[in-house]
Structure 1
Amino acid sequence: MDYEIFELGDVTLQSGETLPNAFLAFKTYGTLNQDKSNVIVYPTAFGDTHVNNKWLIGKGMALDPEKYFIIVPNLLGNGLSSSPSNTPSPFDRNHFPQVTIYDNVRLQHRLVTEKFSIQKIALVVGWSMGGIQSFQWGASYPDMVERIAPFCGGARTWPQTYVVLDGMKAALMNAVGFDSSKLNQLTSADMRAVGRVYAGWGLSQAFYREKLYRVLGYESLEDFAVGVWENSFMKMDPHNVLAMLWTGQNADISANPSYNGDFDEALKSIKALACVMPGSTDLFCTADDNEYEAKLIPHAVFNPIDSIWGHFAGRGINSVDNNFIDDNLRRLLASGTN
């Protein structure tokens, strides 16, 4: 096992439901310095684990473990942290309680403060749903978080994003005839259609038009659809996916007692230096949505990733995009805080 477990005990979620014996799976890189000032938190995205974040961590990179103590907490529902697939009955599979981004960040805050006694975070960074978590960290703990760097992820699930996630959910619901009482019959084979639905959103029109899937070793569009989209989604547990889809569809940094749904106020309350990096051709976490958000954050720069890799400009696949993100993180970490 290449990660650690932080036991949370019985947790009362935002919904009021209790998740018994909850736990966060996490991975750390580097060493915490004496004054605990070198902390970076790097949450995982939908369907990802800490392994998927490794591409942005390394010697000589902005996220250098020889310089920083990097904590990568796994999203609730991803199969490593508390999830439908690893929680005992009666909270397993379709009976797993609804978990919000706010819940995730609150529990990550417990990990950071209770296990490591950390009071300041130099940077929270993340891709996609990891990006939403970085915004939430900034809004929930404005005096603790010095910098945030969300890329290809919004501070809430805007209507277009919601619809895309709803299409993925519908593919699973269709497998059981839209009968929610039969959801526990779902298997990983039912994820094949979900992969096909997502294939049109993860990358841009130009990516497909220019046949960039050949760069990834796929000769035809069909080979790519099967080899990447079907196969990667069929490795996921459908109940974990439904749980994460709910988390994603209901993401909003203002949907909590601190802001009572006042989204603009939540953005204005972020004190961190922010570098907001959407993918310029992202089809469902759009640059326009991020631009609106960045304008309301007092100390934000809006710096789109100029790429035809769509949402996957932030996936760690294309070296030009990777270098752009790394360069922006380097500049952000070099900048003084307020």
Structure 2
Amino acid sequence: MTLLDNVRAQHRLIHDHWQIDRLALIAGWSMGAMQGYQWATLYPDAVDALLAVCGSAKCWPLNQVFLSGIAAALQTDPLFQQGSYTRPPLKGLAAFGHCYAGWAYSAAFYRQHLYRQLNFSTREALLHYWEQDHQGRDANDLLCMLHSWQTANIADNAHFGGDFDAAMAAITARTVVMPCTTDSYFTLEEAEMECGLLARGEWRPLASPFGHCAGAPGRLPPAESAFICRAMADLLAA
């Protein structure tokens, strides 16, 4: 399953079933932003505006290495059985969540004990939450998600033949590129490189110590959400 598969399915639902020809705004966080880029590239005539929050048009090398690492942590559980498990590989799922948490936030987040703002009294309590949360997921579903993320590239299709610059240039939507300044997945530098390839790209980084999670809807203190909502309003008003 790829993000290209997802976006083509979404287009069939919106265009063929609901008969909606144009979208005023596509806004997405993380893999949602990656899908937004895919939408704007594949269907430029259908997308007026795009807000890409803490996401990118392709999965860059460091991001791929991170994903390989958490996948490896999951697969080391003997119960995983190369994906043919008969009961959940709970130790592997816990390791997956624990490793994930290390990248989800920033160095400042942990150094300044900002997890307390999320109602976790200690760092260990936060990590335990991430472990338990991922123990409730299906291991193969998580690996499928990682594959979709890791292989994401808006140019990886027959139309663009791997020409990333051409795929970015095909985006005609007004676009706000909004990385978090402390995101370890989708880095500030790589987001700025992508923004420079857009015909109508606006650089509007989200300054936050919450790392990748800064763009997560409704999870954090209101300042981050307000900043994202302002960008949505500006794009819709333009």
| TM-superposition CA deviations, 1:252-283 (whole Å, max 9, x none) | 00000111111111001101000010000001
**1:270 aligned partner:** 171
CA distance in 2 between counterparts of 1:244 and 1:186 reads: 20
Q: CA offset at residue 296 of structure 1?
A: 0.6
Q: Greater helix share, 1 or 2?
A: 2
Q: CA offset at residue 251 of structure 1?
A: 0.4
**2:151 aligned partner:** 250
Gaps of 5+ in 1: 1-98
| TM-superposition CA deviations, 1:103-161 (whole Å, max 9, x none) | 11001000001221011111111000000000000000011111111100110000011
Alignment of 1:204-215 (within 5 A): 204-215=106-117
1:167 lines up with 2:69 in the alignment: yes
1:116 lines up with 2:24 in the alignment: no
Q: CA offset at residue 308 of structure 1?
A: 0.4
Q: CA offset at residue 176 of structure 1?
A: 3.5
Q: CA offset at residue 318 of structure 1?
A: 2.5
Could you say what secondary structure the match of 1:170 adopts?
Answer: helix
TM-score normalised by the chain length of structure 1: 0.67
TM-score normalised by the chain length of structure 2: 0.95
Could you say what secondary structure the match of 1:296 adopts?
Answer: coil
Correspondent of 1:321 among 213, 224, 227? 224
Q: RMSD between aligned alpha carbons? A: 1.4
1:334 lines up with 2:237 in the alignment: yes
CA distance in 1 between counterparts of 2:221 and 2:177 reads: 19
Question: How many matched pairs?
Answer: 235
Q: Greater strand share, 1 or 2?
A: 1
**1:21 aligned partner:** none
| 2:57/2:194 contact within 8 Å kept | yes
| 2:78/2:89 contact within 8 Å kept | no
**Higher RCO, 1 vs 2 (CA within 8 Å, ≥6 residues apart):** 2
| 1:176/1:183 contact within 8 Å kept | no
**1:146 aligned partner:** 48
1:294 lines up with 2:195 in the alignment: yes
Cα distance, 1:186–1:274 mapped onto 2, change above 3 Å: farther
CA distance in 2 between counterparts of 1:168 and 1:233 reads: 12
Identity of matched residues, %: 38
1:261 lines up with 2:162 in the alignment: yes
CA distance in 2 between counterparts of 1:281 and 1:308 reads: 6
**1:54 aligned partner:** none
Q: Which runs of 4+ in 1 moved over 2 A?
A: 176-180, 182-186
| 2:79/2:85 contact within 8 Å kept | no
